[in-house]
Chain A
Amino acid sequence: MKKISVRTSDGQEFELEENLAMESATIKTSLDAFSRDDIILLPNVNSWEMVKIIEFFTKVQELETKFGVKFMEKKEGRFLEAFQAEFDKDLSDDNLYCLLWTVDYLGIEVLLENLCHLMAERTKNKTVESCRNLFGVQHDYTPEEEAEIREDYSWAFEGPEIEE
């Protein structure tokens, strides 16, 4: 099978199998326009991200062979907890965050959804403050405005981890 060469922002080159490369809408678009012999530059993708993405595809292929199901084609619903747990354990919040952006940039739908599930899993128990910190969001409520919303949704602020 034809290999597609990509180069990440830090100069690292990777060879991807064509069918895997085509899972990225962004890469596919540029392949449609140019020869497959060219190296595709990915200035927004770091090499560690590329490693993770390849890891994902490799795992999916493994599981597809093992279970005889085309996971890529399903493209919906909850995914492979097996690989999800692996992904989860060595990705810090910041790294997950960056990877999410990159996968969105590359247009790899199936991985994006999985990462979103992961992100949501990590975020759902957070307090408002830690949520702001994680996503670097500007706090723009006045104390009065915030107090008003908190009163309307006081039930949402009750819980063992989140009581402030």
Chain B
Amino acid sequence: MATSEEEHPVDNDNLVDNDSEEDQFDDIAEQHIQSSNELKVVDLSDVVCSNELKVVDRSDMFGRDPRKRTAPVDVPSDEFPHKRFKQNMEIQDVVMEHALYFLPAKSLCRFKTVNKEWDQYINSPFFAHQQTHSFRDISGLFCQLPGDKPSFISLDQDAYGIPSPSLSFLPQPVTLRTACNGLLCCQSCFEQNSYYICNPVNEEWKVLPEPNFYHGPDQSALALAFEPSALNFAAHFELVCAFSLSLTDQPVICFEIYSSRSRSWRLAETVCSELDALKLNGDGIFLKGVVFWETFAGAILAFDLKEEHYGILSLPPNSGPQGVLTEMRGELCYILPVREGNSYTLEIHGDMDMNLKHIIPLNLGFLSHTHQESIRVLACVNDDAVVILFGDRVIAYNMKARTVETLRDIVIGNYNGEYNAGFAKYLPYVNSLVHVRSSYITSLLSEDPTTSYSYLKSP
């Protein structure tokens, strides 16, 4: 590929000597202002009408490779009194300072070998913090059949991934519980009271102190609340457990909350005695400050973490194990697959009443068999796509483009098409660099977090 480097060779000597560059620019600017009447006006129609915008003659000011284009050090100061320029700021600096944060962890780990500066930059705690805040795409789903080890289904195998999908870095075998923005919550298989919070990318983990109450396996549900924000440098999170307690002869739902700030569990004052909520159906999701759990009684139990109030929403009347409560375009919705003969559609329910908002036809093409396949919606990912378990395949369906992509061919484990004990858990996961270990964070906080290049020392 012919690069513009061939046309405009980089003059490295010129880049190094700042003074001469300054003078050079001033001269050019002078000439430019004086001779602008003589300059030919570029005919924009040439530029705009072509299918690919060519890099128009870049030798206007600098006569160099555009990638090495430098900002002028000193523009005539009466034009720009508050200078934003940095000395010799090159384009790759802009990319580093702004664009790298939007990359997923797997790509970033690979790009550590681009060069040493990138390695240092990507390793810095400030970078991990920024990336956690900026990169929010669902990167794949963690999957676990009862009794099996966890595994990971990536949405893009080049860009999203983790070193150990079975989470073998944890001290004990675990059951996956819930995930949120790069953090995973698991429960030890041997010790019911041990919850782990981990990041499968950097394999950091911590075990939470034992809760004060017994979270019975059938009568409790968790939700992890982690909202990366510019200020949340220490990656604080909360783990909420809704569990059933029989105080008198009337069972109620209590909420025990673990806070990473206080490193302790606390029982919320609010108690829910609504009958609809009492049979909790699985772990929940966190969205905009509220956690949501499905119940078996056609209702959704919501808990506002700030106000510590609960609320009850209704699920659509035809909800069931084949549907899923998930997030789409920043809003809570319930997605249900519907089969009519050999054709399938997706019903999208939303708003407070979970009204039917959209019906999307599922063009499964060659996957539609003559005999009936079981179908289950697993999650909505990145606004436009839905991950579906169709027979023994996990597929990603793009609702806009109406395209299907097979993510995994055979679901490993005991598939028998029935929704019983063989029901697998699928957790949407974000490939972020978030740091988990608090001691690690505090040791790094002693360094100036705003220094982009503070070097990460291995723990």
Q: Could you say which residues of chain A place their CB within 8 Å of the CB of B57? A: 10
User: Is the CB–CB distance between B98 and A104 below 8 Å?
Assistant: yes
0/1 string, B295-333, CB within 8 A of A gives 1? 000000000000000000000000000000000001000
In the complex, what's the smallest C-beta–C-beta distance from B113 to chain A, in angstroms? 5
Q: Which residue of A lies closest to B91 (CB)?
A: A101
CA distance A4 to B91 in the complex (A): 27
B162 touches A155 (CB 8 A): yes
Q: Which bracket fits the contact residues of B? A: 35 or more
- B330 with A77: CB separation less than 8 A: yes
Of A29, A101, A105, chain B has the most CB atoms within 10 Å of the CB of: A101
- Tell me whether A141 and B115 are in contact in the complex, defined as CB-CB below 8 angstroms, given that A47-B44, A51-B47, A124-B107 are known contacts: yes
B82 touches A101 (CB 8 A): no
In Å, the complex CA distance between A157 and B114 comes to 13
- B204 at interface, CB cutoff 8 A: no
Q: Indicate if A19 sits at the interface (CB-CB under 8 A).
A: no
Interface presence of B103 (CB below 8 A)? yes
Which residues from chain B contact A158 at a C-beta distance below 8 Å? Answer: 157, 161
Q: When chains A and B are docked, how far (Å) is the Cα of A30 from the Cα of B60?
A: 23
A153–B201 Cα distance when bound, in Å, is 10
A10 in contact with B71 (CB, 8 Å): no
Q: Is B207 an interface residue (CB 8 A)?
A: no
A37 to B159, CA, bound (A): 49
Q: Is the CB of A128 within 8 A of B41?
A: no
Task: Give the residue name and chain of the B residue nearest to A40 (CB).
Answer: B79
Q: A43-B32, A137-B92 are in contact. Are A48 and B67 (CB under 8 A)?
A: no
From 84 to 100 in chain B, residues with beta carbon under 8 angstroms from any chain A beta carbon are: 84-85, 91-92, 94-95, 98-100
Does more than half of chain B's interface fall in helix, strand or loop, or is it mixed?
loop
Q: Which of B1-21 contact A (CB under 8 A)?
A: 4-5
A78: CB under 8 A from chain B? yes
Given contacts A43-B32, A132-B115, A137-B118, contact A156 B110 (CB under 8 A): yes
**Interfacial residues of chain A within 123-150, with CB under 8 A of chain B in the complex:** 123-128, 131-132, 135-141, 146, 149-150
| Complex alpha-carbon distance, A25 and B119, angstroms | 31
B79 is contacted by which of A30, A51, A124 (Cβ under 8 Å)?
A30
Distance to closest chain B CB from A111 (angstroms): 11
Q: Does B72 contact A (CB under 8 A)?
A: yes
Given contacts A43-B29, A124-B158, 10 further A-B contacts (CB under 8 A): A11-B42, A100-B94, A100-B95, A104-B94, A105-B71, A120-B102, A125-B156, A132-B115, A141-B116, A161-B158
A sample of 10 cross-chain residue pairs with beta-carbon separation below 8 angstroms, ordered by A number, consists of: A25-B84, A51-B47, A90-B52, A98-B91, A100-B91, A100-B95, A131-B111, A153-B112, A160-B158, A162-B158
